[in-house]
Amino acid sequence: MRARRSILVMVLVTVVLAACGGSGATAVPAANGETYVSAVLGTGYEGALSVRNQLALGILGLQGSANEVTEEQAAALLPLWQGLRGTTRSGASAFAEVDALLSQIEETLTPAQLEAVAGMQLTQDRLGEWASIQGITLGTGSGVGGGMGAGRGLSDEERATRQAENGGVGAGAGGAGGVSTVLLDEVISYLEGR
- Model pLDDT for residues 20-39, shown as the tens digit of each residue: 433 333 334 444 456 799 99
Q: How many CA atoms lie within 13 A of 194 on its CB side?
A: 22
Domain boundaries in the chain? 2-17+49-193
Q: Count of CB atoms within 10 A of residue 104's CB?
A: 18
Calculate mean pLDDT across residues 155-182.
50
pLDDT of residue 17: 39
Q: What is the pTM of this model?
A: 0.67
pLDDT for 178 equals 78
Quick one: DSSP state of residue 120? T
Distance CA(126)–CA(130), nearest Å, equals 6
Identify the pLDDT of residue 157: 52
CB 48 within 8 A of CB 133: no
Q: How far apart are CA 83 and CA 32, in angstroms?
A: 19
- In tens, the pLDDT along 36-95 reads 999 999 999 999 999 999 999 999 999 999 999 999 999 999 999 999 998 877 666 678
Q: 49 near 179, Cβ under 8 Å?
A: no
Q: What gap in Å lies between CA 192 and CA 166, rounded to an integer?
A: 21
126 vs 170: which has the higher pLDDT = 126
Do the beta carbons of residue 104 and residue 82 sit within 8 Å? no
Mean pLDDT value across the chain: 74
